[in-house]
Amino acid sequence: MTEPSVHSIAVVVPVYAGEHTLEALVEEISVFLETSTTPRGIRFRVSEVVLVHDHGRDYSAKVMRSLATKFSVVRVVWLSRNFGQHPATIAGISASGADWIVTIDEDGQFNPLDIPRLLDTAIAEKVPLVYGTARTAPPHSRIRNLASAFVKRVLAKLLIGSDVAEFSSFRLVLGELGRSVAAYAGSGVYLDVALHWMIGEHRVVRVDFRREGREHSGYSVRSLMSHFWRLVLSSGTRPLRFVSYAGLVAAMLGVILAALVTARRILYGFPVGFTSVFVTLLIIGGIMLVALGVVAEYIGLIARSSIGRPLYLAQTDPQESPLFRDSHPDR
């Protein structure tokens, strides 16, 4: 009887501020370095742990070098500067070579022990992409959770149309497809949108999120909004259609308002004041400015793509560079 094959998994971790969390995360992953079995009896092992250094301001680089020395499966991808979570994740995916790829955050809110459940779902459902999403509200502040829910379930439905609430940075994707997506994803493209383009079908596994292993989140309000806006722009042209609909509604309201003012003038002799004119101008002017802003963002996205701006640039360990050979930087 032929022995069942062992699925190899590469775990990709984009690292920005992992000085205090990264070592514990890799230790948790290390339980799968030997051949293990999922609840459904699928044999697997973690054959690679790819840490992507995204130039945070702490001493993550020192921790990463230490982990690469301690674990033979740990490899470090050094980016030339800070590019952001999604480019860093794509860089790690490109550097992997396993059957499956798992992406996971550095902060410890995702539990690596849930990886077998993602693999079981992928194989049982015959789908190449599985997300681990929160079973309950993530352990963040109430304001952040409410804002996140509003953005994902209301704004995303209007501007994007896809079920963004299912997206998560805790993913399992078939290695071949993940690396193909990484090869074609361009500047400004949201990773999950690119995966949806190329793969389409996916499943969701509900998992328990843990509290981040650091005092402050690595994401500011500005960076979270930047993530959302990149998601909107790379998802298609629905925002342009939405602005067109808003312009049509404003035009119809303008016609109705003009008819009402004319009728009041003819039937009752009311003078036509400047108030209604100013209100109309403000409404139409505001819509025009919003429309111009959205169009400008799309033009900027096209320009960035056409000039060939790379999504990221990898280099050798800065410690080995002639620039820092004598100073041995740890940042």
Label the pairing between strands 314-315 and 171-174: unpaired
Residue whose entry in the numeric block shows the structure tokens 């361009």: 186
Closest C-alpha among 231, 235, 233 to residue 300: 233
Q: Which of 227, 214, 236, 229 is nearest to 88 (CA)?
A: 227
> In which band, very low, low, confident or very high, does the pLDDT at 200 lie, cut at 50, 70 and 90?
confident
Sign of torsion, CA 52 57 58 62?
positive
pLDDT digit string, tens, across residues 53-82: 998 888 999 999 999 999 999 999 999 998
In whole angstroms, give the CA distance from residue 102 to residue 116: 11
| H or E stretch covering 191 | helix 191-198
Alpha helical stretches, state H, 168-220: 175-184, 191-198
Q: What is the pLDDT of residue 217?
A: 55
Q: Bin 85: left if φ > 0, else alpha if -120 < ψ < 50, else beta.
A: alpha
SS3 state at 174: strand
215-274 residue pLDDT tens: 555 555 566 566 666 666 666 666 666 666 676 676 677 667 767 777 776 777 666 566
Query: Is residue 206 helix, strand or coil?
Result: strand
Q: CB atoms < 10 A from the CB of 85, how many? A: 21
Give the residue extent of every domain in the chain. Answer: 7-220, 238-306
pLDDT category at 1 given cuts 50, 70, 90 is very low
pLDDT value at residue 248: 67
Mean pLDDT of all residues in 69-97: 93
CA–CA dist 39, 11 (Å, integer): 19
How does residue 2 score in pLDDT terms, banded at 50, 70 and 90? very low
Which pTM value belongs to this model?
0.74
pLDDT of residue 249: 72
Q: Which helix H or strand E contains 267, and what residues bound it?
A: helix 238-268
- Answer whether 118's CB lies under 8 Å from 32's CB: no
266 DSSP 8-state letter: H
Residue pLDDT, tens place only, 140-168: 556 655 656 555 555 555 555 555 557 78
55: left (phi over 0), alpha (psi -120 to 50) or beta: left
Q: Return the CATH fold of 7-220.
A: Spore Coat Polysaccharide Biosynthesis Protein SpsA; Chain A (3.90.550)
User: Could you report the per-residue pLDDT of 23-52, keeping only the tens digit for each?
Assistant: 999 999 999 999 999 999 999 999 999 999
* Mean pLDDT for all residues in the chain: 79
- What are 79's strand-pairing partners? 314
3-state secondary structure of 213: coil
- Rounded Cα–Cα distance for residues 103 and 114 (Å): 12
pLDDT score recorded for residue 159: 52
Q: Give which of 26, 283, 311 is closest to 184, Cα–Cα.
A: 311
* pLDDT surpassing 60 at residue 7: yes
Angle among Cα 33, 34, 38 to the nearest 5 degrees reads 95
- Kindly state the average pLDDT of the residues 164-173: 81
